[in-house]
Amino acid sequence: MKGHLLKMITELKAPVNYTLNLDDQQIEMNDQIGKNITIHHTGNIHCINCGRKTKKSFFQGYCYPCYISLPQTDPSVIHPEKNQAHLGISRDMEWAKTHDLIDHFVYLALSGGLKVGVTRHTQVPTRWIDQGARSAVKLARTPHRNLAGQVEVALKKHLNDKTNWRAMLTNKTEGEPDLAEARTKALELLPDDLKQYAEKDDTITKIQYPVETYPLKVKSVNLDKDPDFTGKLVGIRGQYLIFDEGKVMNIRKYNGYEVELTIEPK
């Protein structure tokens, strides 16, 4: 099979169901666990927006012109508090109406440790799955992205906002707090002017992943340095394929990379 990689489609089941996109081909990845997979990067990278061939991928899949002009690659994607769509300022206001000027959740997740994050209401639970969270809970709901960013900034003084991907992929849970208690404490930490956005729904979503064996240590597969890789798939978590010998591959990192994929039967 040959085509360009895109982030895996996920479906919240027990465990999560993963589908790999390879151009117009879709591969049910849960069914491939236990099989040897060979990945060959042809050297070609194409922008996932315009299709332009590029020597380097920016922001997980874009050519440089798209990276500096598209609303989906704006700095406020990483830093929601910088979003100005509510002021009528955006790279694309039509895009902002359906992505920024809609309800956003601030959430807590256990993903290699406790973290706080922001996502559009339409991205629950996809965002949690993509981060490899084993459980997550809504904390606040705001009418636009900037306000959610303000809530996150207030909590970042006390909580981590980054996923510890190594801890997540080795399934380390030592020291992780009770999520319900963490939610209560986080709401108490909110400044008075932001407490009004506290979310009433305190349901904790638990997420299981199709992993046979977690590695003790992980080493990233780097298709830029070594275009050929073969390994036995032993699990999937977040957007990572987990292979034997602790090798892991972040599929999202290689959006737009053209690869030849060979899956050997068990």
Q: Measure the CA–CA gap between 92 and 147, rounded to whole angstroms.
A: 19
For all residues of the chain together, what is the average pLDDT?
97
Helix (H) or strand (E) holding 21: strand 17-22
pLDDT score for 265: 87
Q: In this model, does residue 141 exceed pLDDT 90? A: yes
Q: In this model, does residue 266 exceed pLDDT 80? A: no
| pLDDT tens, residue by residue, 3-36 | 999 999 999 999 999 999 999 999 999 999 999 9
Q: Confidence band (pLDDT; 50, 70, 90) for 201?
A: very high
| pLDDT tens, residue by residue, 220-250 | 999 999 999 999 999 999 999 999 999 999 9
* Tokens 């991907």, residue located: 165
| pLDDT tens, residue by residue, 105-120 | 999 999 989 999 999 9
* Tokens 């990572």, residue located: 240
Q: 196 phi and psi, to 5 degrees?
A: -65, -15
pLDDT score for 175: 82
Predicted structure pTM score: 0.96
In our burial notation (b when 16+ CB lie closer than 10 A, e otherwise), range 189-224 reads ebeeebeebbbeeeeebebebbbeebbeebeebebe
Counting residues of the chain whose pLDDT is more than 70, the rounded percentage is 100
Q: Confidence band (pLDDT; 50, 70, 90) for 174?
A: confident
The candidate with the shortest Cα–Cα distance to 149, out of 48, 78, 59, is 78
- Side by side, the strands of the sheet bearing 104-110 are 114-120, 104-110, 135-142, 204-206
| pLDDT tens, residue by residue, 63-99 | 999 999 999 999 999 999 999 999 999 999 999 999 9
SS3 per-residue string spanning 80-140 = HHHCCHHHCCCCCHHHHHHHCCCCEEEEEEECCCEEEEEEEHHHCCHHHHHCCCCEEEEEE
pLDDT score for 6: 97
The candidate with the shortest Cα–Cα distance to 248, out of 239, 240, 256, is 240
